[in-house]
Structure 1
């Protein structure tokens, strides 16, 4: 296997825990506790965002007119939304989502109304719906919470099946992966409320 490097540079003193290349190939996001927006050609820092206390583990791009980025951090119940507009001097998130548990998987589907789906450490899917149009002072709570479970036969109760991943397809459809290690199942969930 042949591997070649297009570019290499030292990002900062901390290790990089997450990367996201932006469309067009000109900019890159790198993250540890803070998130840095880079110009790839010049290796120049365009903007730095502050707000996570632990290492960022998930970055996802929202495309809804103005670009935003969504991030989640290790052992953190807050998911943050950041403006990627270079002229905007804001260095803190414009919106926060609060979950019952830390996020282990993240899916974003953006249009006029942005849907953000997170899978929590306890295996629950939470869907947040928000119009990204400026700074919000209070954290948003989920609009929908979904948990999978066994059907439970005669005389037995149903048992939860943890959701391990999700992908939002459109405003009303999500694909979820659930089950135990090695025995995962996939389900397409269609609802007017997703």
Structure 2
């Protein structure tokens, strides 16, 4: 008897979850997010200690000194029901919680917005999650993804600062999930 009651409860929960996941996305036109500014400073080759001692970073690779690793991106989202622009960033050390750069997720303001940055040579990938996109009939969590080329300059210690090659680039909606 418990076996069939369990299956009935499980089936009910699954159907409720499926209904909830579909709410709010009907007629929801989610345009791309536009990146209007991107900067990444990679201080991999900065020193670990100076005459004043060592600076613990909380990350693998030991203490660091000099300019920290940092990443910063400005996301612009425009639609008939949703207009927002925000700049998100992280530095190592300095971000809470500490995360390696590239990597993530890095928090943006509040409300669960975050982004992940990965790199392969001079090609970057940004994944941005907007958990509260406003649609005509509800809300949706939108995950955007985009690849872009970077131009990098190197200092005498082989640390690099990279920026986007194009003035703007798009992150396309990869996943749209209705929320209630």
Q: TM-score, normalised by structure 1?
A: 0.27
Q: Which has the higher contact order (CA 8 A, sep 6+)?
A: 2
Larger radius of gyration: 2
Structure in which a larger fraction of residues adopt helix: 2
